[in-house]
Amino acid sequence: MATKNQTLGEFIIENQAEFQYSSGELSRLINSIRLAAKMVNHEVNKAGLVDITGSAGNVNTQGEDQQKLDVFANNTFIKTLTNREIVCGIASEENDDYIIIEGQRCDNKNKYVVLIDPLDGSSNIDVNVSVGTIFSIYRRVTPVGTPVQMEDFLQPGNMQVAAGYIIYGTSTMLVYTTGHGVNGFTLNPALGTYYLSHPNMTFPETGRIYSVNEGNYNHFPQGVKDYIKYCQKEEEDRPYTSRYIGSLVSDIHRNIIKGGIYMYPKSSVANNGKLRLLYECNPMAFIAEQAGGAASNGYERIMNLKPSELHERVPFFCGNKEMVEKVEEYIQKAD
């Protein structure tokens, strides 16, 4: 039973029996993510005081300019997960290919792979807007004792054993699920300890917020345009409020707490949308469903999609279940 103000460490130990393959590995893995998040949080909080903001002068595999904090966060999570000798493979949004952990760092008996977006929304860091980390954990499908293969990473979201995000904002929170509900832990910076502050997080029954970059409205499919007009229409329970931060973690976190839908549809300039199935959509979908919500590509459940490549992009609609079903209705009606 989750107890408010319980530490993250206590919570993990108390709930370890809920893990399907309880051997202590998954608990240690979550603890490693917790440690790396504290290191990234420390660096984020120094932004503006030290030379850590702005472009790093590199371009990642997505063709996007890497921010200095992208590089720092990526290196921190990879190094922490590798040094703790817990995982057999890591895939990062910032890397072209997956990383095989072997040699002294792994005897190939480790069972888990981690997929991670080390610093979501990093372009906002220069203007002091909340950013975050998103992670997804799978049990490998290739034989234990051999190096990981691509198929260990290209699993549908319904095979996730855990997923979560860390939001670096006015307070730093780690929110995660292992398939038994969603719990949020707030970092006490004075003690360096995460405390359970948001037990059993769920979407409110109804949502009144829609989050989408309306600057791209002219490029959206007709069904999405029709749904936006529906959100804006004067009715008894509408218009809905438009709130868009441009940081996926921040927008989803707000909508879980206050109720709403996040949308990043395909468009005439981005046929598959912008968000990555493995690093962003699957973990957020797992969290949303565990919080009583839903996540879809407009036609089917996100977590049923079979990935075909490491950096695959998909349209993404995530939030209150009724709102996701309504946007699906408009999209499919317009086809």
- Does 227 carry a binding-site annotation? no
| 32 carries a ligand binding annotation | no
Tokens 């038994």 label which residue?
180
Spatial contact of 233 and 265, defined as CB atoms under 8 Å apart: no
Average per-residue pLDDT for the chain: 89
Q: Is 264 annotated as a binding residue?
A: no
Q: What separation in angstroms does the CA of 69 have from each of 28, 121, 306?
A: 25, 11, 31
300 labeled binding residue = no
Question: For the segment 62-121, what is each residue's pLDDT rounded down to a tens digit?
Answer: 555 567 888 999 999 999 999 877 899 999 999 999 999 876 455 557 889 999 999 998
93 is in an annotated binding site: yes
* Alpha carbon distance 115, 120 (integer Å): 13
Say if residue 121 carries a ligand binding annotation.
Answer: yes
User: Between residues 24 and 178, which one has the greater pLDDT?
Assistant: 178
Tell me the DSSP string of 10-47: HHHHHTGGGSTT-SSHHHHHHHHHHHHHHHHHHHHHTB
- Residue ranges of domains in the chain, CATH in brackets: 8-198 (3.30.540.10), 209-334 (3.40.190.80)
- Was 174 annotated as part of a binding site? no
Query: Distance of alpha carbon 258 from its chain centroid, rounded?
Result: 18
Please check if 213 is assigned to a binding site.
yes
Count of all residues that appear for the chain in the document:
335
Q: Is 107 or 234 the better-scoring residue by pLDDT?
A: 234
Amino acid 108: pLDDT: 57
* 15 in a known ligand binding site: no
Percent of the chain with pLDDT over 90: 71
Contact 61, 96 (CB under 8 A): yes
pLDDT digits (tens, 9 = 90+) for 131-150: 999 999 999 999 988 899 99
Of residues 25 and 266, the one with the higher pLDDT is 266
Q: Which pLDDT band holds residue 226 (cuts at 50, 70, 90)?
A: very high
